[in-house]
Amino acid sequence: MIFEILTIFPSMFSSPLAEGMVGKACDRGLIEIRVHNIRDFAADRHHMTDDRPFGGGEGMVMKPEPIVGALRAIQASGPAARSILLTPRGRMFDQETARQLSLLPRLVLICGRYEGVDERVEQYFTDDQISIGDYVLTGGELAAMVVVDSVSRLLPGVLGNEGSALEDSFSRPVLEHPQYTRPRDFEGLSVPPVLLCGNHETIRRWRRGQALHRTRTRRPDLFARLDLSPEDRKLLEDSNFGDR
């Protein structure tokens, strides 16, 4: 899959996308991340990418010409690409959107800065608008990295373990059970003895109970939508969750 990123801060993308699983996926040619500087597509003498808002008001707005110029250059350079504007006014990004995007051959991510992008870009030159959550960032760059990261790990061959992407929470709407590793005693804090008992069925039930309990207390919104099995109900009733 090819990601085409439009930004006025290209260097923001070098390290985060060069490390870990995404970096490995680039090395192995499973994904390609092409970062384009919007400033390179500004035709004026000063390579201006922003200007004052018509009608007055605080801050600056990103000009349409450089962004649309970059979009046209990208569209001419290969197969049709879906273009998405990262904006606080977009629909909220979620795992289902990540899954849908992972089916595309090429994706353009446009990162806004300042107060935003000229409305005509959003309306006439992008296919979709996405926000990553209800909090205020300084621009779309971090949001674009979130999209690249979450979409990349869904692509065939990117995760070592092909099954684990499907198993993650938010694919199934239940939070994960707690995890422990060595040492068995960390500064007087012990590992739940059930995990050392060796009975896989007992461990499976304990984990399921923990996962359901956590979902109920931390994410009541997800819990309300769960379709609980008779065993699930029994686990929630019978277990003693020493609540923190």
CB of 205: closest distance to ligand 9D3 in angstroms?
39
Sign of CA dihedral 216, 219, 225, 228: negative
Q: Which of 19, 27, 32, 115 is catalytic?
A: 115
Q: Residue 200 in contact with residue 234, Cβ under 8 Å? A: no
| 178 belongs to the catalytic site | no
Residue 35 has φ and ψ, to the nearest 5°, of -105, 125
Please tell me what DSSP assigns to residue 188: T
CA dist., res. 50 & res. 60, Å (int): 6
For ligand 9D3, which is the closer residue by CB, 116 or 209? 116
CB of 84: closest distance to ligand 9D3 in angstroms?
10
For ligand 9D3, which is the closer residue by CB, 128 or 232? 128
For ligand 9D3, which is the closer residue by CB, 22 or 86? 86
For ligand 9D3, which is the closer residue by CB, 7 or 102? 7
The neighbouring-strand residues paired with 130 are 91
| 216 belongs to the catalytic site | no
CB of 233: closest distance to ligand 9D3 in angstroms?
37
Cα distances (angstroms) measured from residue 66 to each of 2, 89, 156: 21, 21, 34
Could you list the residues that contact ligand 9D3 (CB under 6 A)? 86-88, 112, 115-116, 131-133, 135-140, 143
Q: Which of 10, 16, 64, 88 is catalytic?
A: 88
| 88 belongs to the catalytic site | yes
Q: Which of 106, 113, 153, 214 is catalytic?
A: 153
Q: Which of 27, 32, 167, 168 is catalytic?
A: 168
For ligand 9D3, which is the closer residue by CB, 139 or 209? 139
Query: Helix, strand, or coil here: 82?
Result: strand
Sign of CA dihedral 40, 43, 48, 51: negative
Copy the structure tokens of residue 156.
Answer: 């065939």
CB of 116: closest distance to ligand 9D3 in angstroms?
5
Residue 160 has φ and ψ, to the nearest 5°, of -55, -50
CA dist., res. 143 & res. 116, Å (int): 14
| 167 belongs to the catalytic site | no
CA dist., res. 9 & res. 114, Å (int): 12
Please tell me what DSSP assigns to residue 93: P
CB of 112: closest distance to ligand 9D3 in angstroms?
4
What residues are labeled active site? 88, 115, 153, 168
